[in-house]
Chain A
């Protein structure tokens, strides 16, 4: 079946630190991969996506590269800000399906 595994949180960083949130997936086909972010009190927002192997998604300084060989889609940012504090969800959508399959989410806390 299809599944997504994310690293446990919370991840606590100081401002300007480097961020990595690990995400690996299992899928029977050729999925598209996503990172969604949820700020306090808000819904899930698409942060970035990649639709095929070796694609790199990027947005707001965040990046993730679709690695088929390691079935991974790790989220990175070179210098986090306090405003990046949120819950980050990795997700996949497999070919032929509309539904998203989510990981458990990783809470990021950035302190000044």
Chain B
């Protein structure tokens, strides 16, 4: 069964460093998302992406964040200058046009020291 994959599974970085989290959505899906979950808190929406542009974003998704679909398969989240409060589990998701079901990847656990 097709699945969303994410790399790396864990990332440790120093405050102020740039990180890129990678996702490979399901191949025929057209809508892509990033969510995050700070330990012990809710899963929060960050951004959605469709037709090579951001379609919706939350207040969390400020200028430090960017997303890109550099080729036909990858979908990336970049954090330019990480802060301690960016430590969280980051989930990628995707869905087909016309379907409400979002398929999630296993997540990348980011720790900022």
If over half of B's interface residues share one DSSP class (helix, strand or loop), that class is named, otherwise mixed; here it is strand
Verify A104–B100 contact, CB threshold 8 A: no
Verify A44–B104 contact, CB threshold 8 A: yes
Question: Which residues of the partner chain B approach A100 to less than 8 Å between Cβ atoms?
Answer: 35, 43, 45, 102
| Shortest distance from the beta carbon of A57 to any chain B beta carbon, whole Å | 12
Verify A104–B106 contact, CB threshold 8 A: no
Verify B106–A42 contact, CB threshold 8 A: yes
| Shortest distance from the beta carbon of A47 to any chain B beta carbon, whole Å | 11
| Shortest distance from the beta carbon of A42 to any chain B beta carbon, whole Å | 6
| Shortest distance from the beta carbon of A27 to any chain B beta carbon, whole Å | 14
A34–B95 Cα gap in the complex (Å)? Answer: 15
B86-113 vs A: 1/0 string, CB under 8 Å? 0000010100000011111111000000
| Shortest distance from the beta carbon of A31 to any chain B beta carbon, whole Å | 10
Verify B56–A43 contact, CB threshold 8 A: no
| Shortest distance from the beta carbon of B7 to any chain A beta carbon, whole Å | 13
* 7 cross-chain CB contacts under 8 A: A43-B106, A46-B103, A49-B101, A89-B43, A99-B45, A99-B58, A101-B45
Closest A-B pairs by Cβ, 7 of them: A102-B43, A44-B104, A43-B104, A99-B45, A43-B106, A98-B48, A104-B42
Known: A46-B103, A103-B42. 18 other contacts (CB 8 A): A34-B100, A42-B106, A43-B6, A43-B91, A43-B105, A43-B106, A43-B107, A44-B91, A44-B93, A44-B104, A49-B100, A91-B43, A98-B55, A99-B48, A100-B43, A100-B45, A104-B41, A105-B42
